[in-house]
Amino acid sequence: MDLDIESGVEAPLSKRWLWPAFLALAIVWVCGGTAALGEARFPPPEFESGHALPLTATPSPRSLAMQHVDVAALVGALGLACYLVHRRRSRRGIIALSLFSLIYFGFYREGCICAIGAVQNVALALCDASYALPMTVLVFFFAPLVVALFAGRTFCAAVCPHGALQDLVLIKPVKVPAWLDHALSVVPFLFLGAGLAFAATGSAFIICRYDPFVPLFRLTGSATLLTLGGLFVLASLFIGRPYCRFLCPYGALLRLAALASKWRVRITPDFCTQCRLCEEACPYGAIREPALTSTTPPVLVPARRRLGRLLLLLPVALFVGGWVGSKLSVPFSKVHPTVALAERYADPNKPTVMPIPATPDSLALGRAERDAPQLVAAAVDIRRRFVLSGWLFGGWTVLVVFAKLIGLSVRPDRTDFEPDRGACVACARCFMACPNERVRLGLLPASAIPTRPGPGLGTGPTAAGTKRD
Amino acid sequence: MTPRSPGEGPVSRRNFLRNGARVAALTGVGAVVGTLVHRTSSQTTVWQIDPLKCLRCGRCATECVLDQSAVKCVHSYDLCGYCELCTGYFVPEPNALNTGAENQLCPTGAIQRKYIEDPYYEYTIDEALCIGCGKCVEGCSRFGNGSLYLQVRQHLCLNCSECAIGRVCPGDAFRRVPVSQPYLLKTSH
Ligand code: SF4
Ligand code: SF4
Ligand code: SF4
Ligand code: SF4
């Protein structure tokens, strides 16, 4: 830090420090123009008593080896979760693993390192070559995703501390109406888009900043966030996983991955007798009923038409969405501290005299003053990047909404009661609702299995609700 | 899974699409990981304050996500003048150059003043008391040698993805440093 930086605040402040010695010193300093820091204004003494200088203590961060423990815990927990869901089919095991994850990744690691936030680090690393992405973060980003591509959302089931917390406190689930569920399930995708846009421009990690549970894990944080966390926990008592279903941006990614999963979570261990006993077992509204095999034209044709119209409309809507997004980039870019500072600096109404004592704001303005051209250039550059991410974010929003609508118009392909691949978080709750499962576990005699209805699949009462989702 | 009833054309078609999507997604994830893997550092980075950029605004004491800020004042003894009238220790125009609370700049009395030999005094930060407000740093940087300055104490810091102080730091003083050298200490050379 050299002279001009200091002199910006020198004059007004010196009024408070009127000791002649210091004043003289300050003058020497201002005129001298030497670097202020590390400079011995008062030369370090030579001690006659041979006094030894103490060392400046530099306590180390958490040991590096612990990172490997984190990664091992993640991989181990993921593997175990897959085993418990697909092989052991054990809700009890899932509860035990959830408890472990809640304690280790939640309260011990204080919600950081976390797969949810890792998306942003990855986005930033992709857009900013100078950002060194920690290896651990990369593993936390991709391991749950790859697992979801094969085994569904087993990460959500029992590895994610956020999910575990909400899952474990759920005592009396109430059903969220289907329309509301569908509408709100779009939100995580938008949050994901916004999180990526802000992270990629290097402005903010909003997913971390507004995480409601991390302050609870840390047992400290801003009052607003702690309250928000408390509210979410309260809601989780009655609404199954409100954060996972209606907010979590990583959940959105996992949902997509799980849609393409190789093995899906199965309610019944072998075959479905369509006894409907599991129908209401899922607190997350993920169980879908079987579809008709022969759909009568009156139902199909309007749906097809709607699909066609949606597809035709899509390009126009994408463009409009992108355009609106790019227009929003100007206000949004103010989230970036550099842009915000440049704006304040360019503001004609900004205060001209330095307040005494200096405020953080005035200090920042002082800094802006000192290298204004550089600041403005940086801000312009950041805003340009915001325009691009505005286009992408706008387009993404439209795409998500359309994908939801198209998904609603597509004929379901189920022949049995099945969990929706994307929505199911593999909690294993519904397994025990199935009499086949109980027979498998020896809790019921084989004769207790209700007989499978005749070959006319979908001719039963289920037919009426086929188009429900 | 495999279709279990006959005549399930759409099911196998969808399975085909699903397999395709999975392969595409795996390729995508693989591409991202492949791009980033040689850019990652096996070395984690941690937040640190560049003492040359810090403007001693006081936000370090208030903005940290921790109740007790992870930022504390540190002392580079080899830069210190061991002044009797330490401008990091004493308020402007102190009544007397002694350890009386009214003379001290530090709001929590976290700086210990110890007589070494005439006319030298040693100043030590009691980190348990320091709240990282930077008042002493301002005094020392402005009129002293600048041997007192703020640093993120790494054993306390949670290493948030986005440092809550860093994003509001008026000096833009926070930056990530490799974990092997987690401090930006001032030295005399
Ligand atoms: S495992 Fe069953 S109960 Fe759990 S989320 Fe999936 S469908 Fe719902
Ligand atoms: S917020 Fe920045 S300028 Fe303010 S005291 Fe901390 S490091 Fe210094
Ligand atoms: S004045 Fe502030 S920064 Fe300095 S020792 Fe006291 S509490 Fe710490
Ligand atoms: S990284 Fe987090 S814990 Fe560390 S100083 Fe910043 S806000 Fe505090």
Q: Could you report the per-residue pLDDT of A98-144, keeping only the tens digit for each?
A: 999 999 999 998 877 889 999 999 999 999 888 888 888 999 999 99
pLDDT at residue B92 greater than cutoff 60:
yes
* Centre of ligand 4 from the C-alpha of residue A108, in Å: 17
Residue contact B154–A361, C-beta within 8 A: no
Task: Classify residue A86: in a domain, yes or no.
Answer: yes
Report pTM: 0.84
Whole-angstrom distance, CA of residue A158 vs CA of residue A167: 9
Give domain status of residue A280, yes or no.
Answer: no
Q: Whose CA is nearest to atom 2 of ligand 4?
A: B160
| A10 pLDDT more than 80 | no
Chain B residues touching A67 at Cβ < 8 A: 44
Tell which of A220, A238, A263 closes a domain: A263
Mean pLDDT along residues A205-228:
91
pLDDT in tens, A187-212: 999 999 999 999 999 999 999 999 99
Residues of B in contact with A123 (CB under 8 A): none
Q: Does residue A458 register a pLDDT over 50? A: no
Let me know whether A243 and A326 are in one domain: no
For residues A223 and A355, membership in a common domain is answered with: no
Q: Which residues of A, range 239-258, sit inside 8 Å of B by Cβ?
A: 256-257
Residue A427 lies in a domain: no
Mean pLDDT score of chain A, rounded to an integer?
A: 84
Tens digits of per-residue pLDDT, A280-321?
899 999 998 887 655 555 566 777 788 888 899 999 999 999
Query: Would you say residue A6 has pLDDT above 80?
Result: no
Residue whose CA lies nearest to ligand 2 atom number 1: B169
Q: How far is A222 from chain B (nearest CA, A)?
A: 7
- Indicate which residue's Cα is closest to atom 8 of ligand 2: B54
Residue B126 in this model has a pLDDT that exceeds 90:
yes
> Residue A425 corresponds to which amino acid?
V
A365 and A239 fall within a common domain:
no
Rounded alpha-carbon distances, angstroms, from residue B34 to A78, A121, B26, B44, B86: 22, 15, 12, 19, 55
Q: Using pLDDT thresholds of 50, 70 and 90, give the confidence band for residue A468.
A: very low
Chain B residue with CA closest to A338: the answer is: B172
In angstroms, the Cα distances linking A316 to A277, A307, A322, A323 are: 45, 15, 10, 11
- Residue A469 belongs to some domain of the structure: no
Partner residue opposite A221 with nearest CB, options B25, B65, B116: B65
**Which residue's C-alpha comes closest to atom 4 of ligand 1?**
A427
How many angstroms separate the CA atoms of A167 and B11, rounded?
A: 32
Closest ligand, as measured to the CA of B88: 3
**Is A440 domain-assigned?**
no
The last residue of one of the domains, among A409, A440, A458, is A409
Claim to verify: residue A239 and residue A93 sit in the same structural domain: yes
Centroid of ligand 4 to alpha carbon of A115 (angstroms): 19
Between residues 62 and 81 of chain A, which touch chain B (CB distance below 8 Å)? 62, 64, 67
Pair (A194, A91) in one structural domain: yes
Percent of chain B scoring above 90 in pLDDT: 63
Residues A198 and A129 in one domain: yes
B146 CB neighbours in chain A (<8 A) are 36-39
Task: Give residue B98's pLDDT band: very low, low, confident or very high (50, 70, 90).
Answer: confident
For A28-60, the pLDDT digits (tens) are 343 333 334 445 678 888 888 888 889 898 998
Q: What pLDDT does residue B146 have?
A: 92
A162 & A22 share domain: yes
Rounded mean pLDDT, B79-85 = 91
* Widest pairwise Cα distance in chain B: 99
**Residues A237 and A345 placed together within one structural domain of the fold:** no
In which domain, by residue range, is A113 found? Answer: 1-40+67-263
Do both A7 and A101 map to the same domain? Answer: yes
B70 alpha carbon – ligand 4 mean position (Å): 6
CB B12 within 8 A of CB B3: yes
Per-residue pLDDT, B178: 87
Same domain, A222 and A310: no
pLDDT at B107: 94
Q: Kindly state the percentage of chain A with pLDDT values over 90.
A: 55
Q: Are residues A228 and A366 in the same domain?
A: no
Q: Show which of residues 374-403 on chain A sit within 8 Å of chain B, judged by CB atoms.
A: none
